[in-house]
A and B are shown apart, each in its own frame.
Chain A
């Protein structure tokens, strides 16, 4: 009877094998290096927080944070940058997503070339790009100068697409590698879906966290880019340039720090929440790494 009970008491399980158990105690070097990293990154941030809480009169207060609601120049520059960021993010995904799928699906030989192209904007100095643009501005016909070069949106957004391309491509490619792209596409096509439908309804939802992550990072980048914006000297300053201007006024460095912290926190929260949105549990991570 007991033997029978032993057998019938076994819970019925699915066919999963026992999970590989990680070491229970973290090794010393792991702890050490993570502690170092924590200090290295948190300390300056904490200092920045303290710094930002000192208002212009030298006392503690949150004025530096509320200034954004009051100062119209700052508001304008923030909206401008956010606009540019939105356009950039949309364009870059539109450009990169089909291309990434194409390369992985049909043209795998181009992978190395694509990797090279996507490294370029990271290593090519933005200053050089800006210099080239400036030069083009000098020699371009007037109508181009008026229509393109003189408006922040039209000249900055396309360039930002180039700068954002590496991170978005990398994010999407990582997402595509994690799914069985060939099988998904074959299944969808054999059921009668057209190519656009397949991309939009089948592939995209499966890499949505990667795409969103890429877009968030693009926003982060746009909110911090100063090189090209600076050299092209627009009438309305973008957000980061405005921050620098505030900093150079010696009674308001706290504002810039406060704004930076807000931008950092905002982007971090977006990315962090994104890691919970992933459909894959367990063995797959859902973030940038």
Chain B
């Protein structure tokens, strides 16, 4: 730009473009030194102590009896029907209270993000999802009872208006009743987990598909659904795990007389009469960890596949 013209050289001499102060390497910018790994310690230690330790204690206790290693606890819970029935109930309950809310949550999330990002609908749904998903348990149970319990507003209304006693046919504390209550917080959980994936669907894909002759349902069938599938499955797995472990709602709704695994755990752990109940309770706890572990492996596998396409 400025400065006198460089003295002319005879002919053209090529020089390598390297210079001592070349551009910084990628590693220099994102390289992780030892300090970075040290920085992870507080978090990892905390989790290890307050999450890992109780879990370890449970598993350890399940595998011991009278001070030495044994598998008798496990053989007990996997053979006696008083323990197998709750397992079956839990699994079935978790299944439909994860699939149903998954589909409904997907629909609601899709409906919401189609609107403007800073519109009223989005704000309301965003706030409400957070509240319902994380309040869960006891508080929601009360709302539910107020609506559909034996003295609930809807029940009373039906009785007085139509002479139809809802409580005869629909018991809020039955598995079905509790399950529908689960929907209340499972759906927002799904909305929260699936929204990032939905927003990851690029508008260019939809437009390109249309340009190539696809109607909306063709686009969904050939592009949107396959791309969303891994995230959908992952989110459903989370819902399954959350439902399987849900216990507070039951506790609040009817003091946990239902035969599902969490209640059994509670029963055994608080039972001071039988001497062997605590290890059994812990074994049941371990069983739950196992189920959850399988869910987590499924989740991890699906997320890896999902990440592959959308790099």
Taking Cβ atoms with an 8 Å cutoff, the residues of A that contact B are 20, 22, 26-27, 29-30, 33-34, 37, 40-41, 43-48, 50-52, 95-96, 98-99, 102-103, 105-108, 110, 112, 115-117, 119-136, 158-159, 161-162, 165, 167, 170, 174, 182, 186, 213, 216-217, 220-221, 223-227, 230-231, 240, 243-244, 247-248, 253, 256-257, 260-261, 263-264, 267-268, 271-272, 274-276, 281-289
Residues from chain B with a CB closer than 8 A to the CB of A230 are 251
New A-B contacts (8) at CB < 8 Å, excluding given A131-B285, A287-B122: A37-B111, A44-B148, A48-B153, A99-B43, A123-B238, A223-B139, A271-B126, A288-B192
Residues from chain B with a CB closer than 8 A to the CB of A159 are 50
Cross-chain contact A33 with B111 (CB below 8 angstroms) = yes
Known: A136-B57, A247-B142. A220 touches B192 (CB 8 A): no
Sampled A-B contacts (18; CB under 8 Å): A22-B114, A47-B143, A48-B146, A96-B43, A105-B30, A106-B31, A123-B241, A125-B265, A132-B54, A136-B57, A159-B50, A217-B130, A226-B251, A253-B146, A263-B139, A281-B118, A282-B118, A289-B195
Cross-chain contact A220 with B269 (CB below 8 angstroms) = no
Cross-chain contact B138 with A41 (CB below 8 angstroms) = no
Cross-chain contact B135 with A220 (CB below 8 angstroms) = yes
Residues from chain A with a CB closer than 8 A to the CB of B117 are 282-285
Cross-chain contact B43 with A95 (CB below 8 angstroms) = yes
Q: Quote the shortest CB–CB distance from A134 to chain B (angstroms).
A: 6
Cross-chain contact B109 with A268 (CB below 8 angstroms) = no
Q: Which of B33-48 contact A (CB under 8 A)?
A: 36-37, 39-40, 42-43, 46-47
Identity of the chain B residue whose Cβ is nearest the Cβ of A282 in the assembled complex: B118
Cross-chain contact A112 with B118 (CB below 8 angstroms) = no
Known: A41-B128, A123-B242. A102 touches B135 (CB 8 A): no
Q: Quote the shortest CB–CB distance from B63 to chain A (angstroms).
A: 13
- Chain A binding surface, main DSSP class: helix
Q: Which of A96, A102, A221 has the most CB of B within 10 A?
A: A102
Residues from chain A with a CB closer than 8 A to the CB of B292 are 123-125
Cα–Cα, bound, A123→B138 (Å): 18
Residues from chain A with a CB closer than 8 A to the CB of B138 are 224, 226, 240, 243-244
Identity of the chain A residue whose Cβ is nearest the Cβ of B41 in the assembled complex: A99
Residues from chain A with a CB closer than 8 A to the CB of B187 are 37
Nearest 4 interchain pairs by C-beta? A287-B126, A123-B241, A132-B54, A125-B245
Cross-chain contact A162 with B39 (CB below 8 angstroms) = no
Taking Cβ atoms with an 8 Å cutoff, the residues of B that contact A are 29-32, 36-37, 39-40, 42-43, 46-47, 50-51, 53-58, 61, 104, 107-118, 121-132, 134-140, 142-148, 151-154, 183-184, 187, 191-192, 195-196, 203, 238, 241-242, 244-245, 247-248, 251-252, 255, 262, 265-266, 269-270, 278, 281-282, 285, 288-289, 292, 295-296, 299-300, 303-304
Cα–Cα, bound, A108→B266 (Å): 40
Identity of the chain B residue whose Cβ is nearest the Cβ of A281 in the assembled complex: B118
Cross-chain contact B282 with A272 (CB below 8 angstroms) = no
Residues from chain A with a CB closer than 8 A to the CB of B203 are 20
Cα–Cα, bound, A133→B56 (Å): 10
Cross-chain contact B244 with A131 (CB below 8 angstroms) = no
Q: Quote the shortest CB–CB distance from A128 to chain B (angstroms).
A: 4
Cross-chain contact B142 with A227 (CB below 8 angstroms) = no
Q: Which of B113, B195, B262 contacts A127 (CB 8 A)?
A: B262
Q: Quote the shortest CB–CB distance from B276 to chain A (angstroms).
A: 14
Q: Quote the shortest CB–CB distance from B131 to chain A (angstroms).
A: 5
Known: A116-B296, A127-B266. A37 touches B122 (CB 8 A): no
Cα–Cα, bound, A96→B43 (Å): 7
Residues from chain A with a CB closer than 8 A to the CB of B244 are 123, 125
Known: A129-B54, A162-B50, A240-B138. A272 touches B111 (CB 8 A): no
Q: Which of A34, A43, A51 has the most CB of B within 10 A?
A: A51
Cross-chain contact A135 with B278 (CB below 8 angstroms) = yes
